[in-house]
Amino acid sequence: MSLTEKQYAPKAVVARKDFQSLLDALLSQKYEISGPVVRDNAVVYDRISQTEDLPIGWIDRQNHGTYHLSRNKKKSLFGCINGSHTWKKFLYPMEKLVLEARRDGKKIELQELPNEEPRQALIGVRSCDLHALQILDKVLIEGPYADLSYSRRRKNLFIVAVNCSRASGNCFCVSMDTGPKATSGFDLALTEVIDDDNHYFVCETGSESGLAILKQIPHHEASVEELAAADKAIQNAVSRMGRSLKTDQLPEMLQRNFDNPEWEKVGQRCLSCGNCTMVCPTCFCTTMEDRTDLSGQVMQRWRKIDSCHTVEFSYIHGGSIRSSGMSRYRQWMMHKLAYWPEQFGTFGCVGCGRCISWCPVGIDITEEARTIENSE
């Protein structure tokens, strides 16, 4: 249940030494906690239970087709912005069993699948990713064909957001009006402040559940100076955006340029690997795969994440309607920036920059939009 503005508790301060009490409070409520961890030289999202699981003292450096971690003397808990994972995987798994049937003699019986979903707590969700979840809500809950599993997982979700105090080289959330400060969609929102010998989190509550958890954590009401330090940290991220995108009249501009020769140029660079769709926090396209065991007694139907960059994705009897890499890249970018506003009333891009970092050839969606506009 969301709090109204008048019900908001005063902003509180939680000391770094008491951060574990937040995790303990969530564990006591039987939440499965997930957060950022370092694995294989990148930040990914996985199960955590203690503060030491977080990427303490690490920061990420991102640019066109590049991502690497380096040590930070400040020992921040949330110095890394994002990696190749998105929070979507906890709500909309890459692979999910949707139907199972078993042969019993001459009969075929459908098996009942479990419909209980875990209580999950996500720690360290950035504002851009909060907006991404809200976009997925429009598609998967508010649309004509609601995804019941996603809906159940969403209702069981507790979100601890973290406001950004730095931006990666590929962030452009300011352009998309999606960050760097979380304004809604969270239970608790933290701003990490490291100042001289002080290390603390300014905490804002966004729901009754968040307020109940905060009451279990040692804290004190934030002072004017502590609030100012938190605001300064967020403004640092605002002033250091790595990318920008002109969104005024962007859908109209792209629609006018559907046959622009620049599409062919980017299509020649694109490898059709699908990385951009795999790391995107709002992509939701799937395919269905039927599997039968060797005995022929059990059949399963699995929903699997798919990509519009594959030839098979647009296959209709007789062939693919998007047979070229150019047409598939154009479809992806047009969907994010031109078609999505018509369908759902918002852009399908939240400015997280993941697609730029994890593209093997460093294709930059902001640069491609600018190139097409300048070529008119």
Q: Is residue 164 part of a domain?
A: yes
Are residue 213 and residue 260 in the same domain, yes or no? no
Are residue 215 and residue 265 in the same domain, yes or no? no
Q: Is residue 245 part of a domain?
A: no
Q: Is residue 244 part of a domain?
A: no
Asked if residue 40 lies in contact with residue 243, where contact means CB atoms within 8 angstroms, the answer is no
pLDDT exceeds cutoff 50 at 191: yes
Single residue among 212, 239, 266 that ends a domain in this structure: 239
**pLDDT computed for residue 173 by the predictor:** 97
Single residue among 211, 239, 267 that ends a domain in this structure: 239
pLDDT exceeds cutoff 60 at 5: no
**pLDDT computed for residue 9 by the predictor:** 63
Are residue 276 and residue 196 in the same domain, yes or no? no
**pLDDT computed for residue 143 by the predictor:** 81
Are residue 211 and residue 350 in the same domain, yes or no? no
Cβ neighbours around 358 below 10 Å, total: 22
Per the structure, how many domains does the chain have? 2
Q: Is residue 109 part of a domain?
A: yes
- Enumerate the β-bridge partners of residue 35: 46
**pLDDT computed for residue 1 by the predictor:** 37
pLDDT exceeds cutoff 80 at 315: yes
Residue 157: φ, ψ to 5°: -95, 135
Are residue 219 and residue 263 in the same domain, yes or no? no
**pLDDT computed for residue 177 by the predictor:** 96
Mean pLDDT, the chain, rounded, equals 93
Q: How confident is the model at residue 4 (pLDDT cuts 50, 70, 90)?
A: very low
Are residue 255 and residue 208 in the same domain, yes or no? no
- Over residues 108-131, the mean pLDDT reads 91
Q: How confident is the model at residue 8 (pLDDT cuts 50, 70, 90)?
A: low
Are residue 110 and residue 56 in the same domain, yes or no? yes
Please enumerate in sequence order all residues whose Cβ is within 8 A of that of 120, keeping only pairs 6 or more positions apart, or say none. 31, 32, 33, 34, 90, 153, 156, 157, 158
Are residue 78 and residue 57 in the same domain, yes or no? yes
HEC secondary structure over the chain: CECCHHHCCCCEEEEHHHHHHHHHHHHHCCCEEEEEEEECCEEEEEECCCHHHCCCCEEEEEECCEEEEEECCCCCCCCCCCCCCCHHHHCCCCEEEEEEEEEECCEEEECCCCCCCCCEEEEEECHHHHHHHHHHHHHHCCCCCCCHHHHHHHHCEEEEEECCCCCCCCCCHHHHCCCCCCCCCCCEEEEEEEECCEEEEEEEECEHHHHHHHCCCCCEECCHHHHHHHHHHHHHHHHCCCCCCCCCCHHHHHHHCCCCCHHHHHHHHCCCCCHHHHHCCCCCCEEEEEEECCCCCEEEEEEEECCCCCCHHHEECCEECCCCHHHHHHHHHHHHHHHHHHHHCCCCCCCCCHHHHCCCCCCCHHHHHHHHHHCC
Q: Is residue 330 part of a domain?
A: yes
Single residue among 206, 239, 272 that ends a domain in this structure: 239
Are residue 119 and residue 31 in the same domain, yes or no? yes
Are residue 204 and residue 117 in the same domain, yes or no? yes
pLDDT exceeds cutoff 80 at 216: yes
Are residue 265 and residue 182 in the same domain, yes or no? no
How confident is the model over 285-305, as pLDDT tens digits?
999 999 999 988 999 999 999
Q: Is residue 227 part of a domain?
A: yes
| Single-letter amino acid, residue 123 | I
Pick left, alpha or beta for residue 65 (phi over 0 → left; psi -120 to 50 → alpha; otherwise beta): left
Question: Which structural domain, as residue segments, surrounds residue 257?
Answer: 250-374
User: What is the spatial distance between Cα 25 and Cα 211, in angstroms, rounded to a whole number?
Assistant: 12
How confident is the model over 56-115, as pLDDT tens digits?
999 999 999 999 999 988 899 999 999 999 999 999 999 999 999 999 888 998 888 887
Q: Is residue 327 part of a domain?
A: yes
Are residue 182 and residue 295 in the same domain, yes or no? no
Please enumerate in sequence order all residues whose Cβ is within 8 A of that of 359, keeping only pairs 6 or more positions apart, or say none. 64, 65, 275, 276
Q: Is residue 2 part of a domain?
A: no
- Over residues 24-32, the mean pLDDT reads 97
Asked if residue 203 lies in contact with residue 163, where contact means CB atoms within 8 angstroms, the answer is no
Alpha carbon distance, N-terminus to C-terminus of the chain: 49
How confident is the model over 141-184, as pLDDT tens digits?
998 889 999 999 999 999 999 999 999 999 999 999 999 999 99
How confident is the model over 205-214, as pLDDT tens digits?
999 999 999 9
**pLDDT computed for residue 330 by the predictor:** 97
